[in-house]
A and B are shown apart, each in its own frame.
Chain A
Amino acid sequence: MNRLYLVAGGLLVFAIAVVAKLVDIQMVKGVEYKELAMQKTERMFTIQPNRGNIYADDGSLLAASVAKYEIRFDANTVTKKDWDKNIGSLCDSLAVLFDKPSSHYRQMLRKARVNKNGYKLIARNVEYLEYARMRKFPLFKYGPNKGGFMETHRVVREYPLGKMAARSIGYERIDDQGHFTRVGLDGAFGAAYLRGNEGKRLKQKSAGSQWKPVGFDNIIEPQDGRDIITTINTNIQDIAHHALLKQLEYYKADHGSVVVMETKTGEVKAISNLGRTEEGKYYEKLNYAVGESHEPGSTFKLMSLVAALEDKVIDTSAIIDTEKGRWRIYDRTVRDTKWGGYGKISMAKAFALSSNIAFAKMIHENYKENPEKYVNRLMNMGLHKNLELPIVGEGNPVLRYPGDKGWSGISLAWMSHGYEVAMTPMQTLTFYNAIANDGEMVKPRFIKQARVGNKVLKEFKKEVINPSICSKETVRKVQRLLKDVVEKDYGTGHRLYSKSFSMAGKTGTCQKNYVAKDPDKLAYISSFAGYFPADNPQYSCIVVIHEPDKSVGYYGADVSGPVFKSLAEKIYITSPVVDEVVPENPKAELIEKSYKSFYAHAQKQYQVVPNLKGMSGMDAIAILENLGIQVELQGNGKVKKQSVSEGTNIKEVKKIVLQLS
C-alpha cells in the first residue's frame, strides 16, 4: 500500500513539474519563443526607396542611383556537353567585353571547373548595359541553373560628370552608428528631398528561400526620393573646371576654386574646387569655395572703397601720396609692389594699380578717430555674417570690432587692403555680385526646384539679402573703377584685356603664412573677382588659387585672371551678336509685273500646251515641268520658238524644245 502511495505521489510531483514547465514556457518565456517562431516563418522587410536624382539646369544628370552588378559563375551546374560546346566562345566574349586575353578566362574557368567552384567571381562593378550583354553570352544565356550564371547587385550613386564639381554635388553616407556624412548638395538636400521614405512589408517564408508578402496590414509602400534641379550649367562647369585645372597645373598650386554666379538671380552656374595630391594631380578635394575662410587681400579694397565712398570721407578723384612705395605706420611698413612707388595718384588710379599704401593711408587717416564707423559700415553691408548656404561647412567670415582680441592700432590700415579680415570665396563673390547687380545683394543659390517626375514640388526663388548695400552713386563709381582695372593700360588686370569683349574686376595677390617671417614658408593667394560683360553684367565670377609656385608666378592677374577670362570669353563666344537691318525696299515694277504674269500662268490648269512665246526661259520651264513635260533649252533669254505648237493636248507631249534669244 505504502509503495502505491509512493508511486502515486511520485507521479503527482512529475505532473506538477510538467505543468510548471508548461506554464514557464507558455507564459514566462512564451513571448520570446513566439517571436522566435515568427522570425523563422515571418519577417518584416524594409524596402529601400530609390534615391532622387540631381539634375543640372538643362536637365543633364549630375547624380543618380544605379545598380552595379557582381557576376559569379557556378562551374558545377553546367553539363559536360554544354561546357565543351560553349566554353571557347564564352571566353572570347568575356575577353572582348573586359579587354583581357581570352586565355585568361579560359584558364580561370577551367580551374573553377576542376576545383568544383560553385561561386567563381567573374567581374565586379559591372554596369547594367554590360550585364545585359553578359546575360546573352554563350553558356550564360542558359541562366543560373543550366548556365551557372549568377548575379548580385547593389545600388550605387553614379556621377555622370565624373569628378567635375564632385564636392559640390556631394554625397550622403550613413555609418554603422547611424551618423550621417553629408557632403555638397546631395548631403544638404538628402533629408528634405532625396532620401525618400522606407517601405515596410510583412513577408512569410514560402518554398525554398523565397519570401512572400502576407496580409494587407503592415504595408508601407516605399516612397522614392524627390529629384532636385540645381542651378549648375554643365557647359560653364566644364569650362570652369578645365580652365582652373590648367592654371593649377601650370603654377603647381596647392589648391584653387572658381565660382560663376548669375548676376540677377544669384544662381551658381559653376563651382569647381581642386586640390593637389602628393603626386601633383588635382581632384575635388574639399569645397574650398564654400568652406575656406581666408584673408582676401586686395579684392577687399572694393569693400573698403565702397565704405569710404558711402561715408563720404573720400572721393575717387582725391589725390593720395603713395610716397616711395613704403609707408611706416607704428612699427610696421605697408608696401606697394612697385619699387620707388607710384607717387601722388588719384584714388581711382590707386584702385586700378592696387596700391596698398593708398588704401592703408586713406582708411587709417579717415577712420582712426572713429574706427567703429568703418567696421559698422562693413557690417551694414553684411560682411560679418555667413551666407547660410545649404552646403554643410560654410566658413565664417572674420571681421574684428575695435576692442576685440587682436585689434590694434594698425588694424584699420591692414584691414583696408584685406588683411586681418577673412572671407570665403563665396562671400567675396556675393559682394562683387551685389556691385554688378547695382547694389542688390542676392544670396547665391544652388537649387531651383524639387520635383517628383515632371511635377514641381517646390520652387526655390531668388533670395535678396540686402536690397541695397550702398547708394546708386557709389555703385556707379566703383563699377567704373572695376572696369578700369582691366581697361586702363596701368590697371593690374590689363593683361586680360580683350578688344572684343568687356570684363570688370579686381585682382588680389595676398600673402599667406607671413607670421613665421620665413621666406621659404611665405606663400601667396592669387585671386580675381569680378563680372562680365562690364556693362549690363550677366555673370559674376571669382577665382582663388592658393600657393602657386613662386618661381612660376603669383600675381592675381597672371594666375587666376586667365580662368576668369576664359569664362568671359566663352560666354561672349556663345552668345550670338544680334544685328537688325531694315532694308530699303526698292521699287521693282518690272519684276513685280513679270511675276504677276507668271503667277497667272502657273495658276491655270492647262489641258493643252500654252503659248510660251515671249515668256522668260525660267518661267517656261517651271510651268512645263509642273505639267510633267520634259524641257530642253537652247540659248538664253526669252522664248522665241517652241517645238510643240500651242493647243496640242498635254497628254500627247513628252518633250518640248524651246529656243531662246
Chain B
Amino acid sequence: MKMKKGLLDILKGKFLVSGDAPKNWLFLLFASFLAAMMISSSHQADRKVHEIAELNEEVRALRSEFVETRRDLQQLKLESSLKNTIAVKGLKPSINPPQKIIVKTAE
C-alpha cells in the first residue's frame, strides 16, 4: 500500500513542489549537468576520432608525395639519365678530374 502511494506521488510530481523541493531541484540540475557533460565529451571523442583519421590520411598522403617526388628527383639526378638529357645540347661528362688548386700564403 505504501509503495503504491510513493509511486503515485512521483507520478504526480510531488517531489518538485513539496517542502524540501529545492534540494531535489538541485540534485536534478546536477544530474542534467552530468548528462550534458557526458554527451559533450562523447561528441568530442568522436570528433577526435575523425581528426585522427584525417591526420593519418594526411600523413599517408604526404609520405607518398615525398617518396614520389624524391624518386623523380633521384632518377633525374642519376648520371645515366643526365647523360642522355645533356647529350642533346652537345654536352658530355668530363673525362678529366676537376683540378683544385689551393693557394697558401707563406706566413
Which A residues lie at the B interface, using CB under 8 A? 50, 60-61, 64, 66-67, 127-129, 132, 158, 160-162, 212-213, 234-235, 238-239, 241-242, 500, 569, 572-585
Contact = CB atoms under 8 A, between A and B. Distances in A.
B13 interface: no
22 contacts: A61-B67, A64-B63, A66-B68, A127-B68, A128-B64, A128-B68, A129-B68, A132-B61, A160-B71, A160-B74, A160-B75, A212-B46, A235-B79, A238-B79, A573-B97, A574-B97, A576-B97, A577-B97, A578-B101, A579-B101, A579-B102, A581-B101
A353 to B, nearest CB: 30
Contacts of A575: 97
Shortest Cβ-Cβ A-B pairs, 3 listed: A128-B64, A160-B71, A576-B100
B65 interface: yes
Contact of B105 (A162, A234, A582): A582
B49 A212 contact: yes
Interface of B: 46, 49, 60-61, 63-65, 67-71, 74-75, 77-80, 93-106
Contact of B96 (A127, A160, A161, A573): A573
A213 B42 CA distance: 12
A532 to B, nearest CB: 13
B100 A577 contact: yes
B99 A576 contact: yes
A162 B102 contact: no
Given A161-B78, A213-B49, 20 more contacts: A60-B74, A61-B70, A61-B71, A66-B68, A67-B61, A128-B65, A128-B68, A129-B68, A162-B75, A212-B49, A234-B78, A235-B79, A239-B79, A569-B95, A573-B97, A575-B97, A577-B100, A579-B99, A584-B106, A585-B106
A42 B40 CA distance: 23
Contacts, number: 97
B79 to A, nearest CB: 5
A158 B75 CA distance: 13
A583 B94 contact: no
A580 B102 CA distance: 5
Contacts of A128: 61, 64-65, 68
Contact of A158 (B67, B102, B106): B67
B16 to A, nearest CB: 36
Contact of B74 (A50, A67, A213, A234): A234
Contacts of B101: 578-581
Of A132, A160, A582, the most chain B CB neighbours within 10 A belong to: A160
Contacts of B104: 580-582
B99 A67 contact: no
A160 B78 CA distance: 11
Nearest to A245: B80
Nearest to A236: B79
A206 to B, nearest CB: 8
Contacts of B61: 67, 128, 132
A582 B65 CA distance: 51
Contacts of B79: 235, 238-239
B80 A242 contact: yes
Of A132, A572, A577, the most chain B CB neighbours within 10 A belong to: A577
A579 B100 contact: yes
A67 B102 CA distance: 50
A237 to B, nearest CB: 9
Contacts of B68: 66, 127-129, 158
A312 to B, nearest CB: 42
Nearest to A68: B64
A332 B105 CA distance: 70
A500 B98 CA distance: 13
A353 B67 CA distance: 51
B96 to A, nearest CB: 7
A152 B46 CA distance: 23
Given A61-B74, A242-B80, A581-B104, A573 B95 contact: yes
Contact of A160 (B67, B93, B95, B102): B67
A146 B56 CA distance: 25
A582 B100 CA distance: 14
Contacts of A212: 46, 49
Contacts of A60: 70, 74
Nearest to A50: B63
A61 B70 CA distance: 7
Contact of B70 (A160, A238, A572): A160
A576 B78 CA distance: 20
B94 to A, nearest CB: 6
Contacts of A573: 93-97
Contacts of A50: 63
Nearest to A161: B74
Given A66-B64, A239-B79, A585-B105, A158 B71 contact: yes
Contacts of B70: 60-61, 160
B78 A238 contact: yes
A569 B67 CA distance: 32
A459 to B, nearest CB: 24
A657 B65 CA distance: 62
Contacts of B77: 234
A376 to B, nearest CB: 45
A600 to B, nearest CB: 25
Contacts of A574: 97
A584 B102 CA distance: 14
Contacts of B97: 572-577
A196 B78 CA distance: 31
Contacts of B105: 582-583, 585
Given A162-B75, A234-B78, A578 B63 contact: no
B80 A578 contact: no
Contacts of A580: 101-102, 104
Contacts of B96: 500, 573
B59 to A, nearest CB: 9
A240 B102 CA distance: 32
A225 to B, nearest CB: 13
Contacts of B98: 576-577
Contacts of A213: 49
Of B67, B95, B106, the most chain A CB neighbours within 10 A belong to: B67
Contacts of B65: 128-129, 132
Of B49, B64, B97, B100, the most chain A CB neighbours within 10 A belong to: B64
